[in-house]
Structure 1
Amino acid sequence: MEDNNTNLIEIPKVFHSFSSEKPFDHCIECDKYLLGDDSEYFIEKAIKNYKGFKAQDVIFEYAICLPCAEKLRKQISKESMQSIEQYFANNIDLPSRMEIMQNNPGTPEAWMETCMLKGESQKESEEYQIYAHCKGNQMELDHMPYMICGAALDEIAELLSEQTRDELDNFLKNHFGPPPELKELLPSKRRLVLV
């Protein structure tokens, strides 16, 4: 992959770990250190807004190195992957997305103000997820970062095969599963959409 330093910026605080308030430094899957060289990795964060309040919670967050992300993607059935790709192709307003990116170079927060699939704002969304592509201690501005609202995530989840849902559920349970005594109290619906 050709490196173009003009599209690398410092990782914004919104993509730092909520719990440590520092940049993610290890891959959630293989524990590889991510900040020491040009390691490529993705960050995904799921955020819940509380209507009527200026409060929000991070539901889950993680960084995953490129090799582990590719391994996880390979566990998604071909049918599910085709359905996801078709959904994105049918729902992204590419001219609008390109305009936002071109009018806000170096301002990733502007790229994530609205869902790139439905146009819903972060503030309007009860739940949303944000995604970033990073290299070492910098974030790459290419087709990411972006935000996907809960309504779009629900529609994407409906497109997934049972096998794919099981694979993604296992990933979430392995890394974010609650203690057994709390499992019954928590909502069972969590959405993981691989970048």
Structure 2
Amino acid sequence: MAYLSQDEINKIGFAQVGHDVFISDKASFHNPAKISIGSFVRIDDFCLLSAGEDGIEIGNYVHISCYACLIGKGLIKLHDYVLISIKATILSSNSDFSGQFAPALKEFDTLDKPYATVFSEAVTFETHTGLGAHSVVLPGVTVGEGTAVGAMSVVYQSLNPWGIYLGNPARFATKRSKRVYKILEDLKESQADI
């Protein structure tokens, strides 16, 4: 995987970019002026980040794995220490599939408002969270601090902190260890010595 140089990253036109950011030259960004990226972030091959008016905010120590997709008009916020795994999808917008309207997933769809509707709500991943491979998170969801979502899960509702959730729909499976706090304290101490 080839990474963009700092000059190439700056030319994309992000709202903000921290330091130690690694972005694949094969990643795609739509509306980058609405995308903020913290420090120690890695975005892999074939990721798509398409920001709406409310933007995408990425914290520090975040890894977005290959083929992941973050898209929608609503805010998508990834706090610090978040992992988005291979082919995971985060949607802050979705069509109304109730049958009352025709599905319309794009703003430039051929159907006008009276016939089609899209709803948008913020999606938030709190600190120390992870989204497993091939999983989908729908609009309006908050993944609580410390929570992990297993592979191939679909998240329709917000998830409580420090749990592991699996399935479609994602359901609580077990508690998650808080040992990560100790690991990160050790990391901070080791970096302070440098």
TM-score normalised to the size of structure 1?
Answer: 0.27
More strand by share: 2
More helix by share: 1
